[in-house]
Amino acid sequence: MIYGLVASALVALGLYGLVTQSALLRKVLAFNLLGGGVFLLFGVVARRGGDAVPEALVITGLVVAFAATALALVLVLRLFQITGAATIAEDETPR
């Protein structure tokens, strides 16, 4: 199944983005790319079995992922408003 391979590649891409991108906004984006791959894998599983259960799991998962993204972005914005920081790199001088 082509999409199984696509899902695997998306997971690898998303993980790579999460690890190598330093800007928080881009990390959140990469997290969503990764999520897309994970959900697609559920889709492949659903398709193989002609089964509605994994589809329902994806709908649940998509809603949870959206909530997580919204929360993460609010935190990113608050961090930026307060400190001007756009990454979570360690500060030069420990507090």
Partner 1 sequence: MSLLLDLLLGLAVLGVAGWTLAVRGNFPAVIGFVAYGLLLALVWVRLGAVDVALTEAALGAGATGVILLFAVVRLRGGRAEIDAATPGPRQRIAAGLLCAMVGLALAVAVLNLPNPAPSQAAAVARHLPELGVANPVTGVLMAYRGLDTLLEAVVLVFAVLAIWSMAPDRRWGAVPGPVFPVQSSGPVSLLARLLPPVGIVIGIYVAWVGADAPGGKFQGGTILAAMGILTWVAGLWRLPPVASRGLRWAVVAGPLAFIGVGLLGFVIADGFLAYPPGFAKPLILLIEAAMTLSVAAALVLMVAGPPEGRRE
Partner 2 sequence: MEATPGGALLVLMLVIPVTGLLIAFAQGGRAPERIALWLAPLGLAMAAVLLAGVLHAKAPVIAFVGGWAPPLGLALRADGLAAAMLMTTAVIIAAIILFARADYMTPPGLPEARAPLAFWCFLLALWAALNAAFLGGDLFNLFVALEMLTFGALALACLDGRATQFKAELRYLLFALIGSVLYLLGTALLYGAYGTLDILLLSRAARADAPTIVAASLMTVGLLGKMALFPLHLWLPAAHAGAPPAASALLSGLVVKASYVLLLRLWFWVMPAALLLAVAPILALLGAAAILFGSVVALRQARLKLLVAYSTVAQIGYLFLMFPLAAGSLAEVAERAWTGGALQAISHAFAKAAMFLAAGVIARGMGHDRIAELHGAARVAPLSVLAFGLAGLSLMGIPPSGGFTAKWLLLQAALYAGQWWWALVIVAGGLLTGGYVFRVLSTAMRAPAPDFAPAAPVDAMQERVALGLAVISVVLGLLPLAAFGLVLIGR
Q: Does 91 interact with partner 1 (rule: CB under 8 A)?
A: no
Selected binder of partner 2 within 6, 25, 29, 57 (CB under 8 A)? 57
Residue 27 binds partner 1, judged by CB under 8 A: no
Is 50 an interacting residue with respect to partner 1 (CB under 8 A)? yes
Look-up of token digits 């696509």: 6
Q: Is 31 in the site for partner 1 (CB under 8 A)?
A: no
Nearest to 28 by CA among 73, 64, 58: 73
Hey, which residues between 63 and 82 contact partner 2 (CB under 8 A)? 64, 67-68, 71-72, 75-76, 78-79, 82
Using CB under 8 A as the binding rule, whether residue 35 contacts partner 2 is answered as: yes
DSSP per residue over 12-48, as a string?
Answer: HHHHHHHHH--SHHHHHHHHHHHHHHHHHHHHHHHHH
- Tokens for 63, please give them: 């809603």
